[in-house]
Amino acid sequence: MTTAERDPGLQPERTRLAWRRTTLACTVVALLAVRQALHGGATAAGVLAVALSLLAWLGFLAVAHRRVTGMTTAKPAPLSSRLALAAAGCTVALAVFAVATLF
């Protein structure tokens, strides 16, 4: 019995595209938070929420970049629990800060 090499097909490419779409969505949310703060009047809480939104966006961008570059090998390593937790935390933080920008 021989072990055949894994043929991932297009799965890594689909995963890279999904990470890029998610990064684009996070970018839009961060930009909308900045727009809301600029047009809604710049209060101290609004500026803080926008700054934290941008920080969460940068964190997600770093996680996504690391994952996309890790998908370039023929057999990519699975997403570590640390990176998955960081991505989820950045996403939740971005949503919370975006809501805080509204108030």
Residue 33's domain spans which residues? 11-102
- Split into its structural domains, the chain has a count of 1
In whole angstroms, give the CA distance from residue 97 to residue 83: 21
Whether the predicted model's global pTM rises above the 0.85 cut: no
CB 65 within 8 A of CB 13: no
Question: Is 2 within a domain?
Answer: no
Question: Is 69 within a domain?
Answer: yes
Question: Is 6 within a domain?
Answer: no
Question: Is 5 within a domain?
Answer: no
Higher-confidence residue of 27 and 44: namely 27
Kindly calculate the radius of gyration of the chain based on its CA atoms and give it in whole angstroms: 18
Biggest CA-to-CA distance, the chain: 69
Question: Is 4 within a domain?
Answer: no
Question: Is 96 within a domain?
Answer: yes
Question: Is 16 within a domain?
Answer: yes
Averaged confidence pLDDT in the chain: 82
Contacts of 12 (CB under 8 A, 6+ apart): 71, 72, 76
